[in-house]
Amino acid sequence: MSQYPDRNPPSNMVNVVLGIIDGYRMGSLRALAQEPVQNAKDAGNQGKSVDVEYRLLSRQARDGSPCHLLTVTDSGTTGLQGPILNEQDLEERNYILRADENWAAFEGQGFTKENEDALGSRGQGKAAFLYHSQLPGEQRRMAMLYDTLLPDDEYRLGARYARPMDRVREPLFGETARLAIQEAQHEVFEDTFVPLGLKPLEQVGSRIIIPFLSQDALKAIQSGDLVRWLQRCWWRAIQKEQLRITVVDEEQGTETEVAVPAWWGNLPRGGGGLRTKGKLEDLGNGVSRYICGEIPLGDGHIIQRLVLMHDQNLSEDEIIHDHPEFAGVQLLRGDQWIETRGVLAEYGDWIPAEQRQGFRGFVEFKRHTDAALREIENSQHDGFNGRHKLFQDVREKLREKVREFSEQMGWDQGIDTSPQEVSQREKRIHAQFLQTFTQPRFSKIPSDDLKQDTGGIKILWDCRLAVDFPYPERARVDWGQHIRHVYLEVSAEPAEEILESATVLLEWVDAQGKREELWRKEVDFLQENSHGRIHRSFEVGDWQLIRGKAKQKRQISCPSAGIHRLRAVVEYQGERVKEISRTVYVQLEPPLPPEEKPFGLSISPVNENAPEQKRIDHGQVLLLQINAKNRSTNAAEIYLDARIDDELLADHLRVELLGTPAGDTPQRVAALTVRRRLLDPEQTPDERQDGIPSMVMEESVHRAVVVAELRDCENDEVMVHSRQTVYFQLDPGKRNSNLPFDIRQKQEGTYAPMWVLNQALDELSYPRNYPLWEALSVVQRQRRALQGRDAFTAEISANGLLEWALRPVMDGDESNFEQLMDVSWEKDGGASDALWESYHVRLDKLLHHCCSENGSPFEYSKDWRETVALMLEIFRQEAG
C-alpha cells in the first residue's frame, strides 16, 4: 500500500471512542442520530435547506460473509472543504483552524475552529461513526471512510482506522478517488478490505461510510428506532424547512422521510406577537394548547416561545422510559433537541397521573440566550450544566408556566401530593434498609477528630491471606488434616498519616458464624519512619482441624462439617479497617470454579476528603482503586487498561493473579490505586505540595467516567469491562445520599410486577395499585420496622439491592457486589455476627451462580429467596 502513505497519530482511538460514547446518557443511537446531522447543518450554505440521507446497504466481506454498510450523505452543504494540513501546519496554527477548514477539522482530534466554542472539538462526530463500525476479528477495531465533492469539482476520499491505534490515511483525489469508491473490495490499510461498490457523489456535499455496521445500529434502522431518534433530535429544524432527513433501507426496499411529530404538525413555523402569559386554546377532539413568549429570564435573557399542549388521545411514545424524550418539556437550542424536563420528575405536582401521557411541550430561546445556553451545554449535546444560574432560571420559569397551564386546564384542584412520590415513612424505611447493607467501612474511619487532625486524608489498608490446603486444587480440609503455611501481609498508605499502632489477628469463623480468635499481634508502624506505603508480613504457621476440643496450640476445634472461614483482620483505632477471608469446606466437596467467567473486576471511586459525599469538588482528592479477581484454579497474567475520561491511568499494565482452589474465596487484588486532586478549569490551580498529582477536569461541572478493562495477555482480547461515574462539582441527584438507587411509586397496569429496577440501576419502582401493597395497613409504631407497608418496602428494597449488585456481574463488573461484601457488621446492639456471616456466605453463593453458565436456575432462585429472608431478619434486628 505504498501508494497510500498515511499518518499515524499516537493515540488509542478505540478507547477514545468508547470513552466519548459512554458519555451519552441515552446511548450510542442518539449519538448516531445527532452528530452527523449536526455536522451537516453546521456546514450548510447560508439560508439553504440541508438534505441528510442515511442509507443501509447489504454487502459481502472479502471472505464471502454477509455484512452491511451505512452511508450518511449530506447535500446543500459546502462539503469537507479546506486544505489538507500536516502536523507542522497544525502546530504553527496552535491547532486552531479557520471556519472553512472542514476537512482538517473532521480528520483532527481536539482541534478548535476560530470564533467557535470547544463543544465540537472533542471528536463527538467521528466517535458516533466509528463506534458503530465493528471490523471482523477478536480484537475491537473500527473504521470509517469519507468522500466529498467540493464546489470547484474537486473529489476526495479519506479513511480512518482504529486498530486500536488511531490511523488516518492520506486522501485520494480526483479520478483515483472515484475509482476507489466503486471497488467491490477496497484495501483501506494493509490487509484491511472494505466492501464498497458505491457511486461517486454527484452533488456538492460529503458522505461518511461506516463499514461492517454493528448489530445495534442495524437493528435500530430495521426496526425504525433510528428514524424515531432522528425525529426527536431534529423535528423543529425539519418543521422550519432547514433540514430534510431520509432513511433508506435498500435490503428491505424502504425509504422513510423523518417527519414532525403529529401533535406538532399544525404548529406555525414561527409567529410573533406572543404574550408573556398565554391563553389556553381548545383545538377540539380533546386537544388543548397553550402558547406564550417573550418571557424574561434573569440577566437579560429571554424565552422566545413556549408551547404546552395536552391531547387526551395520545399514547406514550418513548424509546427509553428512564430518560424522557417527549413526555415533558423539550429544551431546544438552535432548533435541536437537547434535553427534556420530564413530566414525572419535574411537573408531577401539577399534571395528574391520568393526564401525563398526553402532555407535551417545548421551549425556544432568543438568539443571544441560545448562545449563552450553548456555553453551558455538555459536549454530547444532551444536557446543560444544572448548577448554572441561567439553567436554574429556565427551570423555575418552566415550572411556573406549567403551573399556569394546569390551572387553566382545571387540574390544580385536589393534587396534594405527586402520585409518583413515596411517603416519607416509606422513604425512611427504604433509606435505612439500603444504608444497613451498603454502608462501606471507610465511612467509619478515621473518626471526626482524626479527620481534622489529618486534613481529611484517609489511610488505605490492604491485607493478603495465603494458605496451603491439603488438596491443592480445592479448599477442602478433613478432620485431622492441616491448613499449612498460613501467611499474612498487611500494608497501608500514606504511612505518615498513621498515628498509632495497629493490631493484626487471625480468627476462625464456623458455619454458624461463631468467631474464635487464633492469633493476635500488635504492630507499631510508627517505628518504621516510612513515607508513602508501608508493608509488613507474618508467618503464622500450620493449623490442624480437630473434631473434638482443641488440646494443643495451633489446633482448631471444628465439631461439625460445613462451610467455615479462616479470616485475617486489621484493627486500627478500635475499628476493623480491613479483613479478608478464605473459605474452608470441612468434610465437604466444594463446587467447581466457573469456567465461563473466571475473572472479576471492580472499581471503587471515593472522595478521600469526604467519603460520605458522592460529589468531588475543586481541590478534593479522588481515591480510585481498581481490583481484580481470578476464580480459576490456575494462576493467570492479565493486562489492565484504565482511564478517567481521556486521561490514561494504565495501558497494558501487567497484573499477576494467583489461582483459587475450588470453593475458596477468590483473593481481591488491588491491581491499581491512584490519587488525583481534581481541579476546576475556571479556578486558580491548586499549589499544594503534598505529592498528589492534579487533574484539570474538562468542565467546571462534569460527569467523568472511569473505565477499566482486563485483557488476555496472549491475544489482547477484552475479558472483563467495568465502568463507574465520578461526579465533579455535579449534584448526583438521587445518588447524593450515597444510596445506590431511589425508590418511587408508579401507577401501573393491572398485571404490573411487584418491583422493577430500571436499566440504569438508579431507580426502584413499585406500583401504587399492587394488590398486596393496597391491602397492607400503615402501621404507626415507629420502633417496629417490619410491619404492614414497612415490611413491603423493606422486601422490595432487598430484592432491588440484590439485582443492583448482581446484574453487572453478568458482564464481569463486580463493583456493586463488592460494596455489599464490604459492609461492616461491627454495630453495637445490632444483628449478631452469625447472621452477618451467613449473609456473606449466601452472597458468595449467588455470585457463583452468576458466574457459572451451567448453574441451576432453581437453586439460584432458592438461594435468592433465602438471602432476602436473611436480609429482612438482619434489618429487623438492626432497626430495633
pLDDT of residue 9 exceeding 60: no
Examine the pLDDT at 298 and tell me if it is beyond 50: yes
For residues 246-272, average pLDDT:
86
pLDDT single digits (tens) 117-150? 433 444 677 888 999 999 988 788 899 999 999 9
pLDDT, one tens digit per residue, over 579-593 is: 888 999 999 998 887
Does a cis peptide bond (omega within 30 degrees of 0) precede residue 767?
no
Looking at residue 528, what is its pLDDT?
Answer: 58
- CB 596 within 8 Å of CB 719: no
Check residue 830 and give its pLDDT. 63
Which residue from 467, 519, 463 is spatially nearest to 668, judged by alpha carbons?
A: 463
pLDDT confidence band for 268 (50 / 70 / 90)? low
Whether the per-residue pLDDT at 740 is higher than 90: the answer is no
Rounded to an integer, the average pLDDT of 332-357 is 88
Query: Tell me, what's the pLDDT at 418?
Result: 41
Q: Is 582 exposed, middle or buried (0-12, 13-18, 19+ CB in 10 A)?
A: buried
pLDDT tens per residue across span 10-28: 467 888 888 788 778 788 8
Which residue type, as a one-letter code, is found at position 792? F
What pLDDT does 225 receive?
93
Could you give the C-alpha distances from 859 to 262, 850, 865, in angstroms and in order? 50, 12, 10
Radius of gyration of the chain (CA): 30
Average pLDDT, whole number, for the chain?
Answer: 83
CB 267 within 8 A of CB 235: no
Separation of first and last alpha carbons in the chain: 75
Which residue type does 260 have? V
User: What pLDDT was estimated at residue 118?
Assistant: 39
Give the tens place of pLDDT for each residue, 214-236.
998 999 999 999 999 999 999 99
The pLDDT of residue 776: 74
Going by pLDDT thresholds of 50, 70 and 90, the confidence category of residue 109 is low
Task: Please spell the DSSP secondary structure of 584-611, one letter per residue.
Answer: EEESSPPPPPPSS--EEEEEEEEESS-T
pLDDT 10s digits, 71-82: 999 999 988 988
pLDDT of residue 412: 59
Q: What is the mean pLDDT of residues 587-604?
A: 85
Question: Residue 547 has which C-alpha cell?
Answer: 473434631
Give residue 5's pLDDT band: very low, low, confident or very high (50, 70, 90): very low
Q: Are 478 and 587 in contact (CB under 8 A)?
A: yes
In the predicted structure, residue 734 carries a pLDDT above the cut 70? no
Give the confidence band of 687 by pLDDT, cuts at 50, 70, 90.
low
Integer Cα distance of 309 and 402 in angstroms: 10
Q: Tally Cβ neighbours within 10 Å of residue 843.
A: 22
What average pLDDT does the segment 725-747 reach? 74
Is there a contact between 272 and 367 (Cβ–Cβ < 8 Å)?
no
Give 507 or 513, the one with higher predicted confidence: 507
Q: Decide which of 305 and 577 is more confident.
A: 305
pLDDT the model gives residue 645: 85
Q: What's the pLDDT at 197?
A: 94
Q: Return the pLDDT at 123.
A: 61
